């Protein structure tokens, strides 16, 4: 019988360490999905799919929160029932082991609450973006005083790429040097490659 941990973070810039520390970190095997949106069905996530292939009767699957088990309330309940049918215990941090009957009911309610909160967050974000666009159109600045929508660049792309080239550095080392995520470095590189191809096309 094994204790298995599953972690998920939505972006590659985030770390699973906070979840690992909160859950105790003493597991026989760990599975993770980094840079995977919560809107992805659990069984379609590479890390979670590996867990489903590995887990056996008598094992315990531990997660940090209910929303790690699925994209919405229905997916969460489907995932939990699948595991319970295999004789697997599901343990949610702060909630404990989920059993059939009342346990499934409580989990379903919590998953539904999580869905509602995600929808409220989405609606608040959309309302904020709408206000920002309207203010930008009327005054040249958003309602928060910014001159454009979106967040400012983490670093100057040209500076980052010049340093990477000069030092023959890896993506990871470059990200560490400028305290940005590896995804950001890759985005800078892709943008630079695209610009180069465009210039060559124009010359031809």
Active site residues: 10
What is the torsional sign of CA 125, 126, 132, 135? negative
Centroid of chain to Cα 92: 18
Q: Report d(CA 131, CA 127) in Å as an integer.
A: 6
Distances (CA, A) of 136 to 85, 129, 131, 146: 54, 10, 8, 8
* Helix/strand/coil for 94: coil
Give the CA angle between residues 54, 57, 63 to the nearest 5°.
65
Asked if residue 66 lies in contact with residue 98, where contact means CB atoms within 8 angstroms, the answer is no
């Amino acid at each position: 019988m094994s204790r298995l941990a599953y972690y998920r973070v939505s972006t590659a810039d985030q770390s699973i360490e906070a979840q690992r520390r909160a859950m105790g970190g003493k597991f026989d095997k760990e599975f993770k999905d980094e840079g995977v949106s919560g809107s992805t069905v659990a069984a379609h996530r590479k890390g979670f799919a590996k867990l489903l292939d590995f887990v056996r009767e008598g094992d315990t699957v531990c997660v940090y929160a209910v929303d790690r088990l699925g994209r919405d309330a229905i997916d969460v309940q489907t995932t939990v029932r699948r595991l319970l049918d295999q004789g697997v215990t599901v343990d949610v941090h702060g909630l404990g082991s989920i059993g059939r009957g009342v346990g499934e009911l409580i989990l379903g309610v919590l998953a539904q609450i999580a869905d509602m909160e995600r929808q409220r967050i989405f609606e608040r974000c959309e309302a904020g973006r709408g206000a920002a666009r309207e203010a930008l159109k009327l005054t040249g600045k958003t309602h928060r005083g910014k001159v454009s929508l979106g967040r400012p660049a983490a670093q100057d792309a040209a500076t980052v790429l010049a340093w990477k080239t000069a030092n023959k550095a890896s993506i990871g080392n470059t990200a560490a040097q400028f305290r940005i995520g590896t995804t950001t470095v890759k985005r800078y590189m892709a943008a630079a490659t695209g610009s180069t191809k465009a210039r060559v096309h124009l010359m031809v």
